[in-house]
Amino acid sequence: MEQLLVSSSPMAAASLPLPPVDVNQVPLDLQQMLQYVVKSQPEWWAYAIFWQTSTDDEGKNFLAWGDGYFQGDGVVNSNKGGSSSSSSLKSQAQSERKKVIKGIQALMDGNGDTDLVDDGDVTDTEWFYVMSLARSFSAGDGSVTGKAFGSDDFLWITGPAQFQLHYSCERAKEAQIHGIQTLVCIPTSNGVFELGSTQLIKQNLSLVQQMTMTIN
């Protein structure tokens, strides 16, 4: 499954290629902006999420899902064959994942007309992305997202050694378990922009600056 858009709006839009545009000159909604940024990078980013600032009943700020765009893993699944028992377990897991995603979609659009699940497998990375819909973070919770939000400084984590430095962060652990090798959190004036990739991508200050200027 590729190019999955999960929107905070009632209907999730179908993924369509965007024409070359300057995001600083042409007004785009949040989801279009996320899609454009992901597609315009020379490196392959699997997904982009914007965690939006919200306020709880006690007046405390926290981060919740604002919008997101899933481009795909960017890798070819070379897993062929396997034992009948492992194939059966995989089929069962895929069935459960698709059932959960369809349930989420039904809650989002009210009738389930927009199908986020095609005939392909739901990859680990895609599962991690979709399950992010239910996550939230705060400045003092120890998560990389919360740290970026609280410190007003970006975090760029790439490779096993750097992920190990954030072993106490559940978000970073889950990302690595589900195939993410580069995780980036960029704070803005009203939330945190998160990028994830299944590839090792070196720190890119131009991308950080672009996202900060685009969302602020």
Tens of pLDDT, residue by residue over 118-143, are: 557 888 999 999 999 989 999 888 89
SS (H, E, C) 37-73: HHHHCCCCCCEEEEEEEEECCCCCEEEEEEEEEECCC
What CATH topology corresponds to 6-75+125-215? Beta-Lactamase (3.30.450)
CA distance 198 to 29: 26
pLDDT class of 19 with cuts at 50, 70, 90 = very low
User: Taking the complete model, does pTM exceed 0.85, yes or no?
Assistant: no
